[in-house]
Amino acid sequence: MDIYEALYTTRAMRRVKPDPIPSDVQQRILDAAVRAPSGGNTQNWRFLVVDDPDVRGKLGPIYRRCLGMLWETIYKDRMEAARANPDDPDNKQSLIMQRSAQHLADNFEVYPMLLFSFVQYDPTGGSIFPATWSAMLAARAEGVGTALTSVFMFEMDPVLEILGVPKDQGWLFSSCVTFGYPTGRWGVAPRTPVHEVSYRNSWGAPLGFEIPKPLWPPNA
């Protein structure tokens, strides 16, 4: 697959089938992930693959509680504003995102594979997210959809307990990525155009070009 196709179409793919991810596909995804950079090449990371339905079954109710907490805290104002004015384009996107994220929670046990990432002594996440994103891009190349989730942070202790993570070695939970074969189609991620969020030489100065629509696919 063309690398730009992977970069433009690796979305939060939350509607998936329960079909298992074959071992050879898992191997290519994980082996690609550990090629990623980390500060000083320390590779202080651990990846925990969960495909046991019993473990997923224990995690599902915790995930749903955590997502509920997210809606009630960090996202409360944003979602209330979106519901109050649902025709505004930004609010529409927020409501689509909420429905999709809630679908993930409601169907947590359906995802055939989860990938938990942990990093030691790196609260910035700079030495773990490149590897996680590489796993997601590799999955895209394999036709496997992924969604990065972080809400387990609201209730870490029971999750660490279920997964048997040692609590005295400095391992920090970074994310849990769901994997599964999509039920729908891949699309280009809609984002604020680059010239609206980028400057050149000085904060606020124009970038020097404008890109009103995505450059991939090239002849769209």
Ligand X SMILES: Cc1cc2nc3c(=O)[nH]c(=O)nc-3n(C[C@H](O)[C@H](O)[C@H](O)COP(=O)(O)O)c2cc1C
x/- map, 78-117, ligand X, by CB under 6 A? -------------------x---x--x-------------
Determine, following the binding rule CB under 6 A, whether residue 151 of this chain makes contact with ligand X: yes
Q: State the DSSP H helix or E strand holding residue 177, giving kind and residue range, or none if neither.
A: strand 171-180
* CA end-to-end distance (rounded Å), the chain: 18
The b-or-e profile of 158-190 (16+ CB within 10 A means b, else e) is ebbeebebeeeeebbbbbbbbbbbbeeebeeee
> Shortest approach of ligand X to residue 198 CB, angstroms?
19
> Shortest approach of ligand X to residue 99 CB, angstroms?
11
Determine, following the binding rule CB under 6 A, whether residue 1 of this chain makes contact with ligand X: no
* Phi, psi angle pair for 2, to nearest 5°: -60, 135
x/- map, 21-60, ligand X, by CB under 6 A? ----------------------------------------
Per DSSP (E only), the strands in 7-94 are 45-50
User: Is residue 86 a contact partner of residue 95, using CB atoms and an 8 Å limit?
Assistant: yes
Which residue from 11, 138, 142, 163 is in contact with ligand X, where contact means CB under 6 A?
11
- Binding residues (CB under 6 A) for ligand X: these are 11-12, 97, 101, 104, 147-151, 189
